[in-house]
Chains A and B, each alone.
Chain A
Amino acid sequence: MRWLKALLLRILLWFLGRGICACARLDSRAAAEVAGWAEGQGLCLQIAPTGPAMALTKSDGRLRFLGLRAEPAADLVIQFKHPEGALPVFLGRQSIAQAYAQRRMTMKGDLTFAMSVVRVMLITEAYLFPGLITRRIMQRVPEREVSAARVYLSTLLTA
């Protein structure tokens, strides 16, 4: 079961990471957030102690998925303390805020940047998850500017 969960987390992290990049291309609000990030500014999401990780960075003005790997030197490293704390978030069963309230993760770096990252993640979740799911964890689900299908397609095809 443990390896199955680890596999599931890898898949979810892959979708989230590439989904965030897709939203930064297709959604004006996500694009505006990322426009405020500095060149080279990056984020790493990690499941401790030995679990999967993914990293994103802004290079040449675009947000890029660096793959399923840890980037300990990223400007912001969000590390879940264990897989059980991470799964509900990546499955859309729990909001980032609730996970933070339950102190499920540590955040290394600039917490101001973290707020911008959280907003981009909320927008991304609004595309990746059906409204039925997001309405349960968000008070105000961001409206989709383009279809979820377009975001999915871009997530799958564009690196």
Chain B
Amino acid sequence: MLPRYYEFYNPVKVLSGDHALENLPYEMAHLSASRPILLTNQQLVEVGLTRILESALRGSELVIAAQFTEIPPDSSVHVVNAAGRVFREAGCDSIIALGGGSVIDTAKGLRVLIGQETDDIMQYMGADIVKPARRVPFAVIPTTAGTGSEATLVAVIAHPERQVKMEFVSHHLLPDLAVLDPRLTRSLPPRITASTGMDALVHAIESYTSVQRNPLSDAYAWAAIELIRDHLPRAVANGHDTEARLAMANAALMAGAAFSNAMVGLVHAIGHAVGAICRVAHGDAMAILLPHVMEYNLDLVHERYGRLLLALAGPELYAATPAPERGQQAIAVVRAFSQRLHEACGLPLRLRDVGVTDDVLPAIARTAINDGALLLNPKEAGLDDVLQILRQAL
């Protein structure tokens, strides 16, 4: 069934697999970029990931004109402004982001700053406000397989003084290139592999049931779920399983493209609040909340969840389950999947396992209902509904 109207946009060129990094100079040249700034963080430098990039670029025309590594786990407007100064002083003409969610968000903020030729990105926050005067070529090299930020139109950047999380939603934030090279996620520990992988799974499931879902976002979400089903447990069990790592990098990107065009829902609305108030890692919150939110949504989207059973569990279980029970069965499969990851690497299953206590639940719920992700959840949710879900997940 087609929506009465929808939009879909995914201009990101994907370089996936063996020696993907070595193709970067060629691609950047085609974007007329010769002096990129490299954004990353100190930890990734220490693990040696920038060295992998440097050796891949050696002998090419592409010169990293400046490197900016002072990026904390939660990016802020000050970090973006500092990166902007480095960009301008070094006469850079493009951006390469090597890292996870926070590095990529910073890079997106930097692209707004440079593209809009401004000193204050705050005036561009909101949905579809950015309209750059200058095009800044932008490549992303993700080092986790989860956020999918390399294929999304959103960035969240904190403004500590004004106490707001600035949200930017604009197709001008989408990178030109996403480089998926299995060498870069190999060193990710099992626990973080599982947690970030569950984030990708939530992106796919939430976009598949979102009010904004459309046939193209559905296709991306579906493909992502099948890849995650088969490869996340493998990547957790053996980080050097190159095939599984690459599959997860692809799945995260596809799930990102899906939610970039369909948006996420209640799992994210609550998860963002849990993260903001209790400092719980995003992927952990996603893994914990997913089955509880699915239970909540079930009566309105049991048909959609029922279809997802095929992607989540494969044809045998799907065929053996009577149609009216498939939605509920899909939730059971998700629970079993998390349980399996819990046994393999200690992925948390309850909010209390990550330090959330009963007394902060009302505050979490109040924050959650002001999260934009709530708007497109298939089932409306108020304060009491969120509180109930939180209690169940505790």
Using a CB–CB distance below 8 Å, which chain A residues touch chain B? Answer: 76-77, 96-98, 100-103, 105-112, 114-116, 118, 138-140
Residues of B within 8 A of A111 (CB): 125-127, 167, 169, 372
Whether the Cβ atoms of A139 and B380 lie closer than 8 Å is yes
* A10 smallest CB distance to B (angstroms): 24
Q: Identify which of A77, A110, A111, A112 gathers the most chain B CB atoms within 10 Å of its CB.
A: A111
Residue of B nearest to A97 (CB): B375
What separation, in Å, do the CA atoms of A115 and B374 have in the docked complex?
9
From known contacts A115-B374, A115-B375, infer whether A102 and B380 are also in contact, taking CB-CB under 8 Å.
no
Judged by DSSP, the binding face of B is loop
Q: Interface SS of chain A: helix, strand, loop or mixed?
A: mixed
- B374, A100: Cβ atoms under 8 Å? no
Please name all residues of chain A whose beta carbon is closer than 8 Å to the beta carbon of B379 when the two chains form the complex: 139
**A106-B370 contact in complex given A98-B211, A101-B263, A111-B167, C-beta closer than 8 Å:** no
Closest to B375 in A: A97
CA–CA, A108 and B210, complex, Å: 23
Residue from B127, B128, B210, B300 with most neighbouring chain A CB atoms (10 Å):
B127
- In the complex, residue of chain A having the shortest beta-carbon distance to the beta carbon of B171: A103
User: Is B2 an interface position by the 8 A CB rule?
Assistant: no
Query: What residues on A are CB-neighbors of B380 within 8 Å?
Result: 138-140
B4-12, B281-289, B324-332 - the one binding chain A: B4-12
Most buried by B among A97, A103, A105, A140: A103
> In chain B, what residue has the closest Cβ to A73?
B123
For the A-B complex with A101-B210, A110-B164, A112-B164 known, give 11 more contacts whose Cβ atoms are closer than 8 Å: A100-B375, A100-B376, A101-B376, A102-B4, A102-B6, A103-B7, A108-B129, A109-B125, A111-B127, A111-B167, A111-B372
Question: When chains A and B are docked, how far (Å) is the Cα of A117 from the Cα of B165?
Answer: 18
* Interface assignment of B73: CB less than 8 Å from any CB of chain A: no
Q: Which residues of the partner chain A approach B6 to less than 8 Å between Cβ atoms?
A: 101-102
Is B295 part of the contact surface with A, judged by Cβ < 8 Å?
Answer: no
Given A101-B263, A102-B3, A102-B4, the answer on whether A115 and B372 have CB atoms closer than 8 Å is yes
Enumerate chain A residues within 8 angstroms of B212, measured Cβ to Cβ: 100-102
Interface magnitude class on chain B:
20 to 34
For the complex, is B155 an interface residue (Cβ under 8 Å from A)?
no
Asked if B369 CB lies within 8 Å of chain A CBs, one says yes
Q: Which residues of B contact A109 (CB under 8 A)?
A: 125-126
Nearest B residue to A76 by beta-carbon distance?
B126
In the assembled complex, which residues on chain A have CB atoms less than 8 Å from the CB atom of B125? 108-111
Task: Say how far A121's CB is from chain B's closest CB, in angstroms.
Answer: 12
Q: Does B371 contact A (CB under 8 A)?
A: yes
Query: In the bound complex, do residue B126 and residue A106 qualify as a contact, i.e. CB atoms below 8 Å apart?
Result: yes
Contact at A97–B211, with CB atoms within 8 Å? Answer: yes
Residues in A with CB closer than 8 Å to B126 are 76-77, 106-111
Q: List B contacts of A97 (CB < 8 A).
A: 211, 375-376
Instruction: Check if A112 sits within 8 Å of B128, measured CB to CB.
Output: no
Contact with A along B139-170 (1 / 0, CB 8 A): 00000000000000000000000001101010
B148 → A minimal CB distance (Å): 19
Most B CB contacts (10 A, CB to CB) among A96, A112, A138 go to A112
Please name the residue on chain A nearest to B9 by beta carbon.
A103
